[in-house]
Structure 1
């Protein structure tokens, strides 16, 4: 039995070396891309902002979308609860920027268990333009954001544009997530981009043609899905449209929460990935090179070969973290806590293992189960 486990983790360790090397290549090739801006291409854009409650830095995040270096865009703020304190903030912003096309929509209509999607559906009819941008409320962008991400739409085959995000926090659970996003999530995405193309999108940015949204069944199609952002990028590709990942990184602010809350949220996301892309989820085992190499060394009593592979995997992981934190993202959290990336990988492996079994999640203080189609239903 020990010999069998040694062989299994030996194979996984060698696979992880290949993964880490390909991560370095994928990151280099992606971040070497240049964004070419055509100053004569600036189609009108409607921005949908689903809101719920007063998050940290919310005013700063929303203001970054209001102050765009772009000729024609509108922002539709969507709120479900008429007593939500975020309404006062939106009204303040509308008064502060009277020259901008800003609209507040308060409507409690529910079309499914995913309340964010209901929020988006309620605001859609107030969008006047042919390009719809969906971006979560905890995202901050620079002034060149719209004019950069819109460029791929010069190609009529492009139906959706999305982009990566990096996270920032000043608390330990947030720092753990920030390191996981940069050193695990981003390499995984860029490898998937190289191997199978972009067939997904992220809630940080989903810019899509309104006609494409209508062709996939609009928001009603995904009203009971936890993976709404994934589907908005995936479903159009099944109709022959392209989803493009642009080389533009937005900032994601992480709310302060307990470690247990962090675990529950991550388990929810991981189970979402499992039902959306099961083969990819299983393949994630190769991304945990630190865990694989430690277990391989343990089963081989830290002999010369296993110890050497352990050192190689730790070195590659450190190089990836350094490259992303210092060279590509210039992320202060990574710079200050780079040594924690090994612990973060072990934590994420634990979450991956928990996510592999079961289909129950906790979301918005409610318990749900996920069926084989990735749809939510009450426990």
Structure 2
């Protein structure tokens, strides 16, 4: 070939290659912009849901109704040790605006020597008008200590409606009545009935430790925003078990396998599958699985209550905060894999960098302009969500420390996610577990070394089977 023709051909090839590269990058930038707008739409939905749903909490007519006209409720509170503000947390369920004869409080401890019992006895003496009692001893049905602790209370509860609250949760005095209103409302035409009522957590740090403040900033901003948005769209179950109300008769129909049940007649009780609360002892995230089972197996809707679950965060070091976030990433990645994989691309820092690159690529907008606008708008939206949850503006004297904790949380989100995705072992209340592919869990003996703890891999020596007999499980626990 003539040298000039050869040169022209080569130039044409290089131009085509450059054009192809430009097209791919431009396409990626366009997709990034679309994703960025989607995340902002989701964030605005969460913010508006908080404004509409949480800023007005009307008094329920059940609060002053006659005893014969309100349904009975059993309040179940699993306890272990002395949580921060334990007395105030538990007392909030004793002082509900609801006919005293129509609700009971069951306080569960696994061990007769549990320190929480001293607080419980004080409450029983202070509120003799409330039908409350202590249930000591667990029934081992799986690896989840909370479920094991609750089993006897679950079976002995007088009423069909159950309200399960964690020991570190306080609630307003009208929460019970408003939640029963939601659960028992007749379904609208063409809509499924409500099978579960839950409440978004509102964290408050009682100790000014870095981990406590970061946890508070995390739960009260981005976490709440996404939780509100997902429950507003209601495309799937999304439940945090800090405060959940449901019917025992519904729970007795599900197995946790998430296979739809068409009718009550199609349920076979002799198939060997555990049902009710016992079916969820094999999961660490039993709250999420209970919500998913009611949603998918029975086709029931969830209702997000207009109250918040006040979550008291005590002494939490930075290391404890990181461990907590790692734990739930490792649990979620086996239960909602796609959502967990996409999680970093919903976080403030990473999505801002992607948006800045895309805007610069497509329109030549300086990175700094996009980043400044993004962070100002994102912080403003997060603070608005905080206002909706708390019912008041963030106090001025707390504003700077809150924003520092917020910034640290955002910077740590991606590194924590990376570490969480490469491991399967977690620690929860002093016990070690390995999360399995189907979302179930098994106990593991600690001391496998840093490499095992980080990557969640190693020999299976030391693992205990989920279906071990109760005696050996209790001895080793």
Residue 219 (structure 1) aligned to one of 248, 252, 277: 277
CA 1:364–1:144 in structure 2 vs 1: closer, same or farther (change >3 Å)?
Answer: same
For the residues of structure 1 that align with 2:242 and 2:83, how far apart are their CA atoms?
A: 15
Q: Is the contact between residue 9 and residue 292 of structure 1 (CA under 8 Å) also seen in structure 2?
A: no
Moved more, 114-123 or 32-41: 32-41
Partner residue, 2:430:
365
CA distance in 2, matches of 1:264, 1:5: 37
The alpha-carbon distance between structure 1 residues 309 and 7, as it changes in their structure 2 partners (threshold 3 A), is: farther
Write the deviation string for residues 300-354 of structure 1: whole angstroms up to 9, x where unpaired.
79x7432222123212211112212335533658745342323311212222222
Equivalent positions of 1:67-216 (< 5 A) are 67-71=95-99, 72-152=102-182, 153-155=184-186, 157-169=193-205, 170=207, 171-197=209-235, 199-216=237-254
Aligned partners of 2:407 and 2:34: how far apart in 1? 18
How do 1:1-379 residues align onto structure 2 when only pairs under 5 Å count? 11-12=31-32, 15-33=35-53, 37-39=60-62, 40=65, 42-71=70-99, 72-152=102-182, 153-155=184-186, 157-169=193-205, 170=207, 171-197=209-235, 199-216=237-254, 217-238=275-296, 239-294=298-353, 304-329=365-390, 330=392, 332=394, 335-340=399-404, 341-379=406-444
Structure 2 stretches of 5 or more lacking a match?
1-20, 188-192, 255-274, 445-477
Whole-angstrom distance in 1 between the partners of 2:50 and 2:349:
24
Which range is displaced more, 12-21 or 236-245? 12-21
Q: 1:327 to 1:154 in 2, by over 3 A?
A: closer
Give the 3-state SS of the residue equivalent to 1:275 in structure 2. Answer: coil
Change (3 A) 1:120 1:295: same
Mean Cα deviation higher: 43-52 or 270-279: 270-279
Q: 1:108 to 1:131 in 2, by over 3 A?
A: closer
Structure 1 or 2, whichever has the larger Rg, is 2
Distance 2:186 2:419 in 1: 42
Say whether the 8 Å CA contact 1:139–1:251 is kept in structure 2.
yes
Greater relative contact order (CA < 8 Å, ≥ 6 in sequence): 1
Q: Out of 191-200 and 70-79, give the one that drifted further.
A: 191-200
**TM-score, normalised via structure 2 length:** 0.73
- SS in structure 1 of the partner of residue 233 of structure 2: helix
CA distance in 2, matches of 1:198, 1:247: 20
Q: Are the structure 2 counterparts of residues 12 and 260 from structure 1 closer, same or farther at C-alpha, using a change threshold of 3 Å? A: farther
CA distance in 2, matches of 1:310, 1:127: 54
- Note the C-alpha offset of 1:5: 8.9
Question: What is the Cα-based RMSD across aligned positions, in Å?
Answer: 2.6
Distance 1:167 1:328, change over 3 A: closer
**Structure 1 pair 194/310, CA: closer, same or farther in 2 (3 Å)?**
same
Q: 1:288 to 1:11 in 2, by over 3 A?
A: farther
Q: Alpha carbons of 1:5 and 1:266: their partners in 2 closer, same or farther (altered >3 Å)?
A: farther
Aligned to 2:10: none
SS of the equivalent of 1:232 reads helix
Matched position secondary structure for 2:333:
helix
Q: Is this contact kept in 1: 2:165–2:244, CA < 8 A?
A: yes
1:85-137 CA-to-partner distances (Å, cap 9, x unmatched) read 11122122112211110010001332211110111112112210110000000
User: Relative to structure 1, is the Cα distance of residues 339 and 256 closer, same or farther in structure 2, using a 3 angstrom cutoff?
Assistant: same
Conservation of the 8 A alpha-carbon contact between 1:77 and 1:104 = yes
Q: Which runs of 4+ in 1 moved over 4 A?
A: 2-14, 295-301, 331-334
Structure 1 regions of 5+ residues with no counterpart? Answer: none
Q: CA offsets, 1:256-306, max 9 Å, x none?
A: 1322122111111122222221122123233113223246758979x7432
Count of residues paired in the alignment = 377
Whole-Å Cα distance in 1 between the matches of residues 374 and 253 of structure 2?
45
Query: What CA distance in whole angstroms lies between the structure 2 residues aligned with 1:313 and 1:66?
Result: 45
